[in-house]
Structure 1
Amino acid sequence: MSQNIAKQTEDILQPILQELSLDLVDVVYEKEGKNWFLRVYIDKDGGIDIEECGIVSERLSARLDEEDPIEGAYFLEVSSPGVERPLKKEADFIKYTGENVYVKLYEPINGEKEFIGELVAFDNNVAKISYKDKTRTKEVEIPFEKIAKAHLAVIF
């Protein structure tokens, strides 16, 4: 159900974002405690500001009221993806090559299901990550379909 609502919201949202020259990063419909949240993450080159989030929130809220795809009460949140921006699409991996990433897998590669390191390349649907293993630097190649979750990572 929540994936279907996220997809319907994306379809409603796309024309609004195109008109404003903004990019959709992610839509998440999830329950926290007793409350449901519809979270929309948007961005553009150079980043977005609170005014743009407000405009998108107002327009999306009006369209959601018109089309009414969600039963029951929920909270709508529109924001920037932040510094640990999720990487959802292949285009995200291409765009953020050279950046530090966190990747969680559906199944282990070399005995590991999580990697934190530099996204060195993304070619032929394979992410190549350079990471530290104790004192040595290693590389792992991860097929896109094995990635359960990924986001930019802040490494100190």
Structure 2
Amino acid sequence: MSRVSDQLSELLAPVVTGLGYELIGIEWDSDSRGHRVMRIYIDAEDGITVDDCERVSNQVSALLDVEDPVSGSYLLEVSSPGIDRPLFTLDHFRRFVDQAVKLRLRQPRDGQRRFKGVIAGTEDDCLILRTDGGDEIALPIDNIDKARLVPDYKAILKG
């Protein structure tokens, strides 16, 4: 996660948790017209509805208007994590051990920035990733730019 997203998480987490939700993380993106988008992921035990997203969006938007922590214009989106859930912290990786993940590094490792494998665990400040070849590699959490679970559609369709 970036330092800006970390600071925003610290600012927004009390509001989100106060409404009864978990703040999963904040992601910056751009839409099809090139506008910056701040995407806030929330979750709850019973899942997330559109009404939940609207409720959080209204509260977060009011706080962002008052605090003004981000320079320039941007669009605010509040979303559930979905089945291809983004992972932001070591705790997230620990929670999904033995599940497939794809990720992109900020700085390449051995000339490679994109990885896909199974979360084998964590150690110190690193994700341990088991690659398709069976090798386990340690990737520092600070070097992970984006990470998402890879849904097992076969298991979903069976379930």
TM bucket (normalised to shorter chain) is 0.7 to 0.9
Q: State whether residues 104 and 114 of structure 1, in contact with CA within 8 Å, keep that contact through their aligned partners in structure 2.
A: yes
Identical positions, percent: 30
2:19 equivalent to 1:20? yes
The structure whose Rg is larger is 1
Q: State whether residues 86 and 147 of structure 2, in contact with CA within 8 Å, keep that contact through their aligned partners in structure 1.
A: yes
2:150 equivalent to 1:149? no
Count of matched residue positions in the alignment of Structure 1 and Structure 2: 149
SS in 2 for 1:62: helix
Q: 1:55 to 1:71 in 2, by over 3 A?
A: same
Partner of 2:136 in structure 1?
140
Of stretches 79-88 and 51-60 in structure 1, the one that deviates more from structure 2 is: 79-88
Please state which structure has a larger fraction of its residues in strand.
Answer: 1
SS in 2 for 1:61: helix
**What is the Cα-based RMSD across aligned positions, in Å?**
2.7
The answer for unaligned runs of 5 or more in structure 1 is none
User: What is the CA distance between 1:16 and its match in structure 2?
Assistant: 1.1
User: What is the CA distance between 1:64 and its match in structure 2?
Assistant: 1.8
Q: 1:122 to 1:56 in 2, by over 3 A?
A: same
Q: Which runs of 4+ in 1 moved over 6 A?
A: none
Partner of 1:56 in structure 2?
56
CA distance in structure 2 between the partners assigned to 1:3 and 1:94 by the alignment: 22
The answer for unaligned runs of 5 or more in structure 2 is 154-159
> Structure 1 length as normaliser, TM-score?
0.76
